[in-house]
Amino acid sequence: MAHGHAALSGALVVVGTGIGATRLTFEARSAIQNADEVLFLVPDLVSEEVIRSLNPAARSLESCYANGEPRIEAYERMVNELLTPARAGRRVCAAFYGHPGVFVHPSHEAVRRARAEGIEARMQPGISAEDCLFADLALDPGAAGCQSYEATRFLERRPAIEPTAALVLWQIGVLGERASAFGPLPGALARLVERLLELYPPDHEAVLYEAAPYPGVDPVVRRVPLRALAEDELTPLSTLYVPPLAPR
């Protein structure tokens, strides 16, 4: 009897596809191949094809989004999509782009709820945009230290910053846009520049960065003085890296 019950206990494993489909770890591949159900959310067809090649029945979570509604409602649907089969005793694998624990609300929430319900759940690390940034900009976060903030939260909460340590601001391309991806709110970028100029000189050179999503493609690395940042073209994938000032 005990054995029969074990067969009914579902499980959830959340994996990251890495930034770019070629960065899928061996561990993630194995989880996708061995799952009864695979649900994924990735921004490109190459990643989608890689997932389907490992598990042909895999399906996208894209349909959870509805036009014009708050993202949190889409995230709630995603969590339910992941937990329903796990509750029914199936082994579920959820695959999210990049690192599944970085800027991915549904992954954390699904793992938390599964564990609260006694369902075995775990998250495996993936190669994040931050990992790519450290490699592409030849930056060692251990050298001067590294501060990392979501850009809108940084602007709203004004945390104390140490200018002699590196600063990374994520999602600068959707600054002020709490729940969507239509570009920065008018004036938000100018306010961010104002805040940064309280901490750094106007000619301090920052880097606008986007990790390369495909093998053999160079990342976007644009160097720009902070005073000119508000005039630059940003995309939803833009990250701002502000190098440390020399120690006083």
3-state secondary structure 113-139: HHHHCCCEEEECCCCCHHHHHHHHCCC
| Residue that is written with structure tokens 């993630």 in the block | 28
Burial class (CB in 10 A: 0-12, 13-18, 19+), 19: buried
Backbone angles phi, psi at 105, to 5 degrees: -65, -45
Task: Answer whether 48's CB lies under 8 Å from 60's CB.
Answer: yes
Is there a catalytic annotation at residue 149?
A: no
Task: Considering the candidates 29, 52, 59, 71, report the single residue annotated as catalytic.
Answer: 71
Q: Where are the beta strands (DSSP E) in 136-238?
A: 146-150, 166-170, 205-210, 220-225
75 part of the active site: yes
Q: Is 233 helix (H, G, I), strand (E, B) or coil?
A: coil
What ranges make up the beta strands (E) of the chain? 11-16, 37-41, 59-60, 91-96, 120-123, 146-150, 166-170, 205-210, 220-225, 239-242
Catalytic residue among 97, 200, 209, 241: 97
Query: What b/e sequence results for 156-183 when a residue is b if at least 16 CB atoms lie within 10 Å of its CB, and e otherwise?
Result: eeeeebebebbbbbbbbbbbbbeeeeeb
Q: Name 168's bridge partners.
A: 148, 241
Judge contact between 174 and 183, C-beta under 8 A: yes
CA dist., res. 248 & res. 245, Å (int): 8
Active site residues: 71, 75, 97
